[in-house]
Amino acid sequence: MRQKYRFVTGILALSLPQSVKSDYQRTLLEGLELFEGVAADEVKHLLQRCDRRDIEAGETLLAPGDKNEHVFIILSGSLHVHVGSPESPILLTMEVGACVGELSIIGDRDPTAYVTSAESSHLLLIHQSILWEMVDASHAFAKNLLIVLSERVRSHNRVIADNFGELKKFEYHARTDALTGLGNRRAMEESFPREMKRCQRGGLPISLVMVDIDGFKMFNDTFGHLAGDRALVAVGNLLKIQFRPRDLIVRFGGDEFAILLPEVGEQKALEIADRARAAVCGSTGDGSDSLIQIPIRISMGIAQAKDDCKLPDLIRAADAALYRAKNAGRNRVAI
C-alpha cells in the first residue's frame, strides 16, 4: 500500500482517460485521512499545486520556534513526535496516510513539538493557502479536517497522560548531573538568569561562587578515576550542606561547581564560601569509606552581579576571581 501513495500528485497529472484517471484518483485519496470520502474532481486542481518532499531518517520536519506554513501528509515512511527535544522519548509515531502540521496552521502559531522522520519518508505538502481553498471546495475535506483536529487533541492528551512519568524522568535527567545529583549546565542556564533578574528588579544583591578542586588531575592519576568520581560526589554533598537550600548549586563541568547566592553581596559571599572551603578541606567523604582520609582542597572565586549584568558576564568575573585564588597559592577564596 505504501508505494502507491508515492506518486499521488504525479498520477493526478497523467493524461489518462477521464474515467480511468478518476478511478486512480479515488483509490489513491482513500488512504489519506484528510481525503477520506472526498471527490477527486473537487480537489484535483488544488492537489496539482501542492509540492512533494523526501526526507531522510532522523531529519527534523517541524520544531518549536520554526514557523510552519504547511500540512504534511505521509505518502510513504513514518514520522516520530517528540516534546522538549528531538532526543526526548517518542510520544507518537505517525504512519502512512496521517498528516502533521495542521495544529500550527489552524492555531496560527509555531509548532509545539518536534516531528522527525523515523525512516526515509515521502511527503505531500499542502500550503496553508491551498488548505483553506480545499476547505471551501469540499465539505468532506472540511469535515475530515475537523475530525483530525479533534482526534489529535484527544490523542495528544492520552499520550501525554500515558507518558507523563517517562517525560518527568527524562526532564529530571536532562537538568541533573548523573554523578553528583546536582543541577547541570542546562539547569544553570535556565534557573540562574531567572534568579538574577528577580534580584536585579528588586535592587537586591546576588553573587556567584565558582569552585574548582585543586590538583584534581593529579588526584585522578594517583588514586584512579573511581576515587575521583567519589571525591566529586563528596564535594558536591558537602557544598549542599554548607550553603542554604535556596542557593542554586550546579556541577559546572569536570571538577568545577557553580553556586548562585541570591540576596547575598560579595563580602558576605566571601565569608560563606570560606566556611564551605574549610569544611571541604576537613572532610572529603561521608564517613563510609576511606575517602575521608584523602586530602581534597578547593579554590573559589566570587563575583557580585552588577545591575545590568548577564549570566555569561557574571561567570567570567567569578572565573577571573577563581584564577586569582589559584595563582595566589590555591586552597583559598578570592573576589
Sheet with strand 60-62: strands edge to edge = 60-62, 114-117, 79-82, 90-94
Classify residue 155 by its DSSP letter. Answer: H
CA–chain centroid gap for 136, Å, is 38
Whether the Cβ atoms of residue 291 and residue 238 lie closer than 8 Å to each other: no
Residue 55: CB atoms within 10 A of its CB come to 18
Q: Give me the catalytic one of 177, 212, 255, 319.
A: 255
108 is catalytic: no
User: In the structure grid, which three cell numbers stand for residue 325, read together?
Assistant: 585564588
Q: Which of 249, 217, 254, 215 is nearest to 232 (CA)?
A: 254
User: In the structure grid, which three cell numbers stand for residue 4, read together?
Assistant: 502507491
Q: Where are the alpha helices (DSSP H) in the chain?
A: 2-5, 8-12, 18-30, 40-47, 102-107, 128-137, 139-162, 164-174, 185-201, 216-223, 225-242, 266-282, 311-327
Sheet with strand 298-304: strands edge to edge = 248-253, 256-262, 206-213, 298-304, 333-334
Contacts (Cβ under 8 Å, ≥6 apart) of 103? 111, 112, 149, 152
Positions marked catalytic: 255
